[in-house]
Amino acid sequence: MKLSTPPIAPKTLAMLNRLGIETLADLREVGSAKAFLLLKATGCTVTQSTLWQLEALLLGIAATDLSDAQKAALSEQIKQHPPVAVFPTPSEIAEFMQAALQQAEQSAQMGEIPVGAVVVHNGQIIAAAHNTCVHDHNISHHAEIRALARAGAALGNYRLDGCDVYITLEPCAMCASALIQARVKRVIFGAAEPKTGAAGSVLNLFENSLLNKHTAVLGGVLADECRNLLQDFFQKRRN
């Protein structure tokens, strides 16, 4: 069933459609809390009544029939929800991840674990880096840390709240913490890291309610290419 006006306001409905939420099934998949936060992320002016309306649609009732307890539960969901953002188009995301892969290949050529990262600001790459831990004798010289440092120098600010960071491998706890501290807007990574990944594989620092929550995360971008580069590197090392 398609979402319609009424009960959703015309401007809100148009923005939901732009976000790919066109039917009740789409809304159910996303959830009322995330849909509401996505609307806010686009700059759409929405009030709590919009949240009540979205939840009521999922329950098949009128918004006026929501109980105080249901409204309180929704408000708590919003408070505890991980950061939400509207991400660039798939083609743009793929383009920047390719740039990160080029950085990762430089690491491989140096005998370093092939991980690359780029920082994007206003649609332009302002910093790029790759792993140099072995070469620099410095455990902190992961691709993300080096890219953040270069981006900070480029912008003259250690806070990178308007930036996106593309990484070929899910960040570890050290790098995830640095990304959070830098307050980057969005982190997009390629392959998951089942042993040390701190964006959902082992733990998810970006969703930890005890930390400042500023950064939305998207994983699995060009995952096969990113994973193959790592697997080829370790295969050659074993041989």
Specify binding-site residues. Answer: 142, 172, 175
What average pLDDT score do residues 56-66 get? 94
Q: pLDDT tens-digit profile of 95-108? A: 999 999 999 999 99
For the ranges 13-22, 32-41, 48-57, 210-219, the lowest mean pLDDT is seen at: 210-219
Residue 85 has pLDDT above 90, yes or no: yes
Residue 15 has pLDDT above 90, yes or no: yes
Can you tell me whether residue 46 is helix, strand or coil? coil
Specify binding-site residues for Zn(2+). Answer: 142, 172, 175
CATH architecture of 10-80: Orthogonal Bundle (1.10)
Structure pTM? Answer: 0.89
What average pLDDT score do residues 191-212 get? 93
What average pLDDT score do residues 212-238 get? 93
Q: Which CATH number fits domain 90-238: 3.20.20.70, 3.90.180.10, 1.20.950.20, 3.40.140.10?
A: 3.40.140.10
List the domain boundaries for the chain: 10-80, 90-238
Distance CA 60, CA 172 (A): 42
Measured in degrees and rounded to the nearest 5, phi and psi for residue 160 equal -120, 45
167, two tokens: 């990484």
Q: pLDDT tens-digit profile of 163-186? A: 999 999 999 999 999 999 999 999
Residue 210 has pLDDT above 90, yes or no: no
Predicted pLDDT at 78: 93
Residue 92 has pLDDT above 90, yes or no: yes
Q: Which residues are catalytic?
A: 144
Measured in degrees and rounded to the nearest 5, phi and psi for residue 185 equal -70, -45
